Amino acid sequence: MAPDGADELAAVIVNYNVRDHLLACVRSLRDEGVRDVVVVDNDSIDGSGPALAAADPDARFIPAGANLGFGRAANRGVAATAASLVLILNPDAVVEPGSVKTLLAALDEDEGLAVVGPRVDNPDGTRYPSVRRFPDLGMAAGHAFLGLVRPGNRFTRRYRMLDREPNRAGPVDWVSGTCMLVRRPAFDAVGGFDEAYFMYVEDVDLCTRLRRRGWTVLFSPELEVVHQIGVSTKGQRGPMAFEHSRSIQRYYEKFHARGGGALLVPFVRAALWLRAALVSTLDRRRGR
């Protein structure tokens, strides 16, 4: 059965060389009654297109022609649908039964709500920290460096909201782009994802701009997806650390490089690239 409001809803998936996960993701959406499924493919070479056409001919497959990154590809997918509500998710996420209907109900209840993020679980049943705070510099530095050797440090716990009751719904600073339901008018009003981010932090940026416009971002643990983390970037953690640092640098300079914050730009850049180098070195030593 299609969920109430299904005609207003589209799902947009950004795919990159994860064919089997993509098929499972689309199946989970169909099981939830999502009729309009748009897949933007970032130049995969694993046969994702033919496999999807065989498994689900009604799903729309849009070849990007190159690897556009997440935000740019997601914007292309959103532009391809006229739906007023768009579920944006990774191809390695599987929507649990009942989640889509609950997502739609959350947005129906609050016209000031722009984004709803679900609970995200790892395949082993542990919780993925999909809801987080906007960190100040002290929290960010502590998380960035202590987190490499002490994942349970107080800065990381505060940033990832790990001491928050995990099943408590409510407004939050931002939710992960792993899976988010967005209200189309709000998304369009802020220009969608900032395409200057190739990968990482585009979700933080989107939620920052929405909240500054007065919209609300909600975490709703009644909704659940299971996410296979890092499938598309498997074996590339070192290079991705530099991409992550590049994105954080852009975010800082975009939102915080004003007044005294501008004086800290060189130090922020140096710290980010130092952390990326440390991650890359540690990964090589661990044989990843």
pLDDT in tens, 138-196: 899 999 888 888 988 999 999 999 888 777 889 999 999 999 999 999 999 999 999 99
Which is nearest to 70 in space by CA: 273, 244, 272, 186? 244
How many other CB atoms sit within 10 Å of the CB of residue 153?
Answer: 16
* Whether the predicted pLDDT of 280 surpasses 90: no
* Whether the predicted pLDDT of 213 surpasses 90: yes
User: At CA 91, angle to CA 94 and CA 135, rounded to 5?
Assistant: 90
What is the Cα Rg of the chain in Å? Answer: 19
Q: Which residues contact 268 (CB under 8 A, 6 or more apart)?
A: 137, 249, 252
Q: What is the pLDDT of residue 37?
A: 98
* Whether the predicted pLDDT of 83 surpasses 90: yes
CA distances from 91 to 181, 227, 239 (A): 15, 9, 21
Kindly indicate the confidence band of residue 269, based on its pLDDT and cuts at 50, 70 and 90: very high
Six token digits for residue 100: 């889509």
Six token digits for residue 78: 């959103």
Amino acid at 163: D
Instruction: Compute the average pLDDT of residues 50-77.
Output: 97
Kindly indicate the confidence band of residue 4, based on its pLDDT and cuts at 50, 70 and 90: low
pTM of the model: 0.91
Q: What is the pLDDT of residue 6?
A: 52
Six token digits for residue 103: 């997502």
Run of H or E residues at 170: strand 170-171
Contact 201, 247 (CB under 8 A): yes
Instruction: Compute the average pLDDT of residues 90-98.
Output: 93
Q: What is the pLDDT of residue 287?
A: 59
How far is it, in rounded angstroms, from Cα 88 to Cα 75? 10
Q: What is the pLDDT of residue 1?
A: 39
What value does the mean pLDDT of the chain take? 90
Run of H or E residues at 171: strand 170-171
Kindly indicate the confidence band of residue 232, based on its pLDDT and cuts at 50, 70 and 90: low
* Whether the predicted pLDDT of 229 surpasses 80: no
Using a pLDDT cut of 70, give the percent of the chain over it: 93
